[in-house]
């Protein structure tokens, strides 16, 4: 299946940003696309109220759009446990054409890499007689190596670590307690092996040979292979951890960015690179070929169009569409795209129009979400950004959703004004946008409330949070707009070295950094244009 197209609004999302993403994703999916709505920040109280009201799950948080290792769909999942046999490792390497494999412990955590050269060197160095002393292994591993050609014909196959030596036909007279014996039908020493205390006998025979009843008390395993082949397969049963040597190798985390690992992979002599999850467990193995043609993430932007307001790494994504009702800033795209913009008060007004153009009636839930966004952005039609198109769309959506938009809208706005559990940092960033105005870098945060005086009781802490943001981002001005949804106006708090922008833009005098703007409720239409105009003359 093709990767999902991500649809999202701006950072510090408001109700329109979230509801637009959800509604447009719903429309696109009905039109046959594979999309998902995501968010770029925490939800405010109003949006939480809306999603709870309509029983809609909040979109997943998207921290970055930069391709990460975990986004790779073509990866290798083969690995080896340190207790597995080198035969198993060799089989995987041969089948998958690997030169190395990640090695994990019992908790599936990466501990090492095993290379095919290590297995080859181990074979050259092995002493068959002392193999179980030099390379600890288990009866389970031996059985794993022989099971396709073997059957237990007597006794109970043992388990656990092998304590004895490996003895062949020529050494039957040297058998000691706990030894593993490999013999044939013609050796005549099976009884003697039992008396000497052998732990188990592997009887190498032709598949058509008849086996006599030896009537002994130790297990006998019939192996339909010759002695030499059986020795070789048992040698391959030693565990991977017994041949591993300490080595330095590169591995990546699932959260590493593709662009950051490309040079490492290119310059390394290593061909396979393990990838681990945050807890150290193995995720996959990748090779250079997996990232050579890795495509960009495809996205649709709603309720914004500027990189500064979008997700981290937006420049690495392929933007398919923009649906917005704001002014367009300076941005570039590498390919043509569909832009749907209109001078309306809310993005959801545009999206509802797109539903109608496709002849699709939104269900009650989606209609309720789009209605909520319009009521929020227009302050129930009181904002100067509100247009007749917004009002018409809201009334039609209210009918579909079966809601009285006046009473529902007021409940929604009041629910969104509660700030009692918000820190000063959260208050000033919950609906903050950055703007470049000539030589001035500004941030304008807006909060709807019914208690401005109560909010300003915490002024000292609010100013401290604003000052921190100014220093961190080199803002010339940080403007906090506290909008009274009942009295239809805003009190502003200005901080920074360019507060004269506010005084000039609104032809007012700030008293201790504060002023009341009668009838001003819209950041987009009643604040930003005046600040931009003021900046042009400075």
Reading the chain (538 residues) residue by residue, the pLDDT tens digits are 357 899 999 998 999 999 999 999 999 999 999 999 999 999 998 999 999 999 999 999 998 888 888 877 777 888 999 999 888 998 898 888 888 899 999 999 999 999 988 888 887 777 666 788 888 889 999 998 899 899 999 899 999 999 998 988 777 778 889 999 998 887 567 888 888 899 999 999 988 888 888 888 899 999 999 888 898 888 888 889 888 888 888 899 998 888 888 888 888 888 889 999 999 899 988 887 777 656 678 999 999 988 888 998 888 888 999 999 988 866 666 677 899 999 999 999 999 999 999 999 999 999 999 999 999 999 999 888 899 999 999 999 999 999 999 999 999 988 888 787 789 999 999 889 999 998 899 999 999 888 898 889 999 999 999 999 999 999 999 999 999 987 889 999 999 999 999 999 999 999 999 999 999 999 988 999 999 999 987 7
H or E stretch covering 456:
helix 452-456
531-537-538 Cα angle (round to 5): 85
Domains 80-122+242-292 and 424-536 share a fold: no
Which residues in 371-382 are b (16+ Cβ under 10 Å) and which e? bbbbbbbbbbbe
Distances in whole angstroms, Cα of residue 102 to Cα of each of 109, 251, 508: 10, 10, 68
Predicted pLDDT at 36: 97
Q: Which of 217, 292, 306, 218 is nearest to 262 (CA)?
A: 292
Q: What is the pLDDT of residue 366?
A: 98
Question: What is the predicted pLDDT for the residue at 396?
Answer: 98
Could you tell me where the DSSP H helices lie in 54-186? Answer: 86-96, 116-125, 131-134, 139-146
Strand ranges for 303-425 from DSSP E: 318-324, 338-341
- Identify any residues that bridge with 48 across adjacent strands, giving them in sequence order: none
DSSP 8-state secondary structure symbol assigned to residue 109? B
* CATH code assigned to 5-67+296-416: 3.90.1640.10
pLDDT tens, residue by residue, 128-177: 667 888 888 899 999 988 998 999 998 999 999 999 989 887 777 788 89
Strand partners, 195: none
Domain boundaries, the chain: 5-67+296-416, 80-122+242-292, 127-237, 424-536
Q: Does domain 80-122+242-292 have CATH number 3.30.565.10?
A: no
Per DSSP, 309 falls in state G
Contact 59, 38 (CB under 8 A): yes
Integer Cα distance of 372 and 14 in angstroms: 11
Instruction: Write the class of the CATH domain 424-536.
Output: alpha beta
CATH code for residues 127-237: 3.40.1390.20
For residue 1, the model assigns a pLDDT of 33
* Sign of the alpha-carbon torsion through 13, 14, 18, 24: negative
pLDDT score recorded for residue 293: 59
- Partners of 443 in the beta sheet? 434, 478
Reported pTM: 0.60
- Per the CB < 8 A criterion, the answer to whether 322 and 340 are in contact is yes
């Amino acid at each position: 299946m093709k990767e999902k197209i991500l649809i999202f609004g701006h950072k510090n999302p408001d109700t329109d940003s979230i509801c637009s993403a959800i509604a447009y994703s719903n429309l696109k999916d009905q039109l046959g696309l594979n999309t998902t709505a995501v968010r770029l920040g925490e939800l405010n109280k109003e949006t939480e109220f809306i999603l709870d009201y309509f029983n809609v799950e909040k979109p997943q948080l998207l921290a970055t759009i930069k391709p990460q290792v975990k986004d790779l769909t073509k990866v290798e999942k083969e690995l080896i446990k340190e207790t597995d046999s080198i035969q198993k490792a060799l089989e995987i390497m041969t089948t998958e054409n690997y030169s190395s494999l990640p090695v994990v412990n019992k908790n599936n955590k990466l501990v090492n890499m095993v290379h095919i050269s290590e297995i080859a060197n181990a074979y050259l160095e092995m002493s068959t007689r002392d193999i179980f002393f030099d390379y600890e292994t288990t009866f389970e591993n031996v059985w794993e190596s022989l099971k396709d050609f073997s059957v237990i014909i007597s006794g109970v196959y043992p388990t656990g670590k092998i304590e004895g030596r490996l003895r062949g036909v020529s050494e039957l007279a040297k058998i000691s307690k706990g030894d593993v014996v490999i013999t044939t039908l013609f050796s005549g020493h099976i009884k003697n092996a039992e008396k000497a205390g052998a732990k188990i006998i592997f009887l190498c025979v032709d598949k058509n040979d008849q086996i006599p009843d030896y009537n002994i008390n130790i297990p006998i395993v019939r192996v339909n292979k010759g002695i030499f082949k059986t020795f070789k397969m048992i040698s391959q049963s030693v565990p991977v951890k017994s041949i591993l040597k300490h080595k330095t190798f590169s591995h990546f985390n699932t959260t590493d960015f593709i662009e950051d690992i490309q040079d490492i992979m290119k310059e390394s002599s290593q061909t396979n690179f393990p990838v681990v999850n945050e807890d150290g467990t193995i995720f996959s193995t990748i090779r250079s070929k997996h990232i050579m043609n890795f495509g960009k993430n495809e996205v649709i932007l709603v309720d914004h169009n500027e990189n500064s307001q979008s997700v981290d790494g937006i420049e690495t994504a392929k933007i398919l569409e923009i649906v917005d009702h704001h002014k367009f800033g300076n941005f570039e795209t590498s390919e043509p795209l569909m832009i749907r913009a209109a001078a309306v008060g809310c993005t959801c007004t545009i999206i509802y129009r797109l539903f109608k153009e496709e002849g699709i009636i939104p269900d009650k839930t989606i209609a309720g979400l789009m209605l909520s966004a319009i009521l929020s952005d227009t302050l129930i039609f009181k904002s100067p950004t509100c247009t007749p198109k917004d009002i018409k769309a809201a009334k039609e959506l209210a009918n579909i959703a079966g809601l009285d938009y006046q009473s529902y809208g007021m409940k929604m706005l009041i629910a969104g004004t509660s700030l009692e559990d918000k820190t000063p940092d959260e208050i000033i960033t919950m609906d903050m946008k950055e703007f470049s105005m000539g030589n001035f870098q500004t941030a304008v945060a807006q909060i709807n409330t019914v208690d401005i005086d109560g909010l300003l009781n915490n002024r000292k802490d609010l100013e401290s949070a604003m000052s921190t943001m100014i220093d961190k981002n080199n803002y010339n001005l940080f403007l906090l707009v506290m909008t009274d949804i009942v009295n239809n106006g805003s009190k502003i708090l200005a901080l920074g070295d360019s507060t004269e922008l506010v005084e000039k833009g609104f032809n007012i005098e700030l008293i201790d950094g504060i002023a009341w703007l009668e009838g001003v409720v819209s950041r987009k239409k009643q604040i930003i244009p005046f600040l931009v105009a003021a900046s042009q003359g400075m």
